[in-house]
Amino acid sequence: MAGTAPLLLLSMPQMTDPNFARTVVLLTDYTAEDGAFGLVVNRQMNEPACEIVRTEPPVRVDPDLRLWIGGPVDPQSTWVLMAEAQGPDEEQREIVPGLLLSVSRSLTLQLLQEPPSSRTKVVVGYAGWSPGQLENEIASSSWLTTNVDPGLIFGVPPDQMWEEAIRRLGADPANLQTSSGVH
């Protein structure tokens, strides 16, 4: 596959799958043998987290917190994307400078109770591809790829991120056509 993780996947305008239409996906892991793992970074839930989150033991969830939809796979799983480390956490790793990923349950519980900064996202679910699947989707022009930019992920409103990412590639989303080949 041209380019390897980490990278951003930008869905083509013709993408019909409602899980991925107009999405920006942070691809964090990829191998030809295992497939690919990523998180949609531009879809925020409409409902407040306090209306949908149930934890054991119960915690008071901040009423203003909105979670992010990382993808359709395993919507019970949580991930934390952040611009900087938040305390000692062996369960976090740097994706690129200025972007870390954590699977820490204690950090997730902490962020549910106190609103995270605009440079932190609590994400539920993920996007996954079996071996060869993503390569086939890229070859059939379902995705554009670009470098990961934490400024895009944390600095652009989610409803504008997809279009902004495509424009940064020098393209107008309205003029993109479906064609064979790798982009």
Identify the band that residue 78 occupies on the pLDDT scale cut at 50, 70 and 90. very high
The pLDDT > 90 percentage for the chain reads 63
Whether the upstream peptide bond of residue 6 has omega within 30° of 0, thus cis, is: yes
Contact 74, 67 (CB under 8 A): no
Three-class secondary structure of residue 49 per DSSP:
helix
Q: 79-93, 101-115, 140-154, 157-171: which has the minimum mean pLDDT?
A: 79-93
The CATH code that applies to domain 7-58+66-77+125-175 is 3.40.1740.10
Three-state SS sequence of 90-110: CCEEEEECCEEEECCHHHHHH
User: Which of the pair, 123 or 62, is modelled with greater confidence?
Assistant: 123
Token pair in block for residue 150: 């934490």
Domain definitions of the chain by residue range: 7-58+66-77+125-175
| Amino acid letter, residue 73 | V
